[in-house]
Amino acid sequence: MRLLTWLALFMGGCVSIHRVEKPLPVISSVHSTDFSQAMGSMLGATFLPGNRITTLSDGDEIFPSMLEAIRRARKTITFETFIFHHDAISRQFVDALAERARAGVEVKMIADGIGAIDAGSFFSDLRAAGVQLEIYRPIWSKDLLWVTYRTHRKLLVVDGRIGFIGGVGIGDSWRGHAKSDAEWRELHYRIEGPVVAQLQAAFHANWFSTHREVILGPGYFPALPAAGTVRAGAFFSAPYRGRYLVDLMYHMAIAGARKSILIENPYFVPDTALTDALCAAAKRGVKVQVIMAGRHIDFSLVHIASRQRWPRLKAAGVELYEFEGTLLHSKLLVADGYFVSVGSANFDPRSLAINDEANLNVLDEPFAREQTRIFHEDLARSKPAKVRATSVSELPMQWLQEAFDPQL
């Protein structure tokens, strides 16, 4: 699996990609109506009022909440994931999904052809129970360029009424409370309210792509009354189909910030334009703080690539930190204590221009305060990044070691 993953990463560099090529000029503040109108319209994710969002930290909060929602399903379940391993927690998901399918619930699932390559007999069990399962771009495709385009989305919608989004994969690495190096640090979110329909639409985009079926009806898109007070909009990025929206979202959030930008993301490898944008924000007085994965990282090539950006960022005043103790896998951005983006998108070339991603954007001060508190709690578990130029000669040995080591 590791070799296939590296192959996909390598081929990503051979694909024509289209990103924002230079920083945006400063735009209306994230607090303004102009910003919400532009962000919602440009991303195709109008901010809808009346939502409730519950933050779930680490696997021992995330998995029980997802499994409970699945077990309570009455009509439909739609589920899209990148990682689905052949291990104990995945077994629990298989059992829960299979039981609901046998009970007459319509269960539709998309699993990535690389991220779920080791699921093995679990998929046979799901299909035998009546789950409609699609493998997203299997590795045996005749079109070799497809190997680089993956679905990295993490979406679960139950009865069209309860949604989940965030960074969690279905695997034992996420279990626990991030108290040891074997328990990854993660954030995931449970959502109720009108924005759940936008999460469903994100799932539908890839369901139609793989299964050629339009999903409609009240089981998938019921009327959704207000469940809370949060304004939110969900968008999905699909570069293979020309939707380069993660890149645009990051640029707009940076250009709309006036006081602070908090970024928590494991794979922090901004391209030249985003590096320039973050530097420009810091130079105009915005406090920019970034927490990324430290020595506990599953792809050290990413860490090496990240370090090439550090001298310029730190010279401009950007504060860079490395998380300690375990692998940081959460994806979080907070601008000016008001705009928040969470979901599957990393801050690296694959999420910017290659992977299919899905994020939830939020305009809400109480929610932003909660995410800011979480950021600072993780900051307390981090250390300042030390700028050190990395020689390109370091790459081959680490690349080969990770590519062929089945334990990594």
**Measured distance CA(330)–CA(169) in Å, rounded:** 11
Give the pLDDT band of residue 141 (cuts 50, 70, 90): low
What 3-state DSSP class applies to 48? strand
% of the chain residues with pLDDT over 90? 80
Pull the structure tokens for residue 301: 């090539």
Cβ atoms < 10 Å from Cβ of 386 = 10
**pLDDT, tens digit, 9 for 90 and up, residues 17-51:** 567 899 999 999 999 999 999 999 999 999 999 99
Q: Which residues pair with 108 in a beta bridge?
A: 78, 132
**pLDDT, tens digit, 9 for 90 and up, residues 297-340:** 877 778 788 889 999 999 999 999 999 999 999 999 999 999 99
Predicted confidence (pLDDT) at residue 255 exceeds the cutoff of 80? yes
Angle at CA 175, nearest 5°, toward 326 and 64? Answer: 140
Supply the angle between the helices 33-43 and 245-256 in degrees, to the nearest 10.
Answer: 170
Pull the structure tokens for residue 259: 């006081």
Burial class (CB in 10 A: 0-12, 13-18, 19+), 31: middle
**Measured distance CA(149)–CA(154) in Å, rounded:** 16
Supply the angle between the helices 395-404 and 2-12 in degrees, to the nearest 10.
Answer: 140
The C-alpha torsion from 30 through 36 and 41 to 45, rounded to 10°, is: 100
Pull the structure tokens for residue 377: 């709690």
C-alpha separations of 147 from 6, 15, 55, 298 in Å: 11, 11, 33, 20
**Measured distance CA(174)–CA(89) in Å, rounded:** 9
**Measured distance CA(202)–CA(57) in Å, rounded:** 23
**pLDDT, tens digit, 9 for 90 and up, residues 76-114:** 999 999 999 999 999 999 999 999 999 999 999 999 999
**Measured distance CA(402)–CA(101) in Å, rounded:** 38
DSSP string, 167-201: S--BSGGG-S-S-STTS-B-EEEEEESTTHHHHHH
Pull the structure tokens for residue 93: 């998901």
Mean pLDDT, range 212-227, rounded to an integer: 97
Mean pLDDT, range 261-277, rounded to an integer: 96
Residue 310 is predicted with a pLDDT of 95
What value does the mean pLDDT of the chain take? 90
Pull the structure tokens for residue 313: 């960022």
Cβ atoms < 10 Å from Cβ of 229 = 13
Residues identified as active-site = 152, 154, 159, 329, 331, 336
Using the structure block, give the residue that is written with the tokens 């994806």: 331
Residue 241 is predicted with a pLDDT of 81
CATH fold of 2-404, please?
Endonuclease; Chain A (3.30.870)
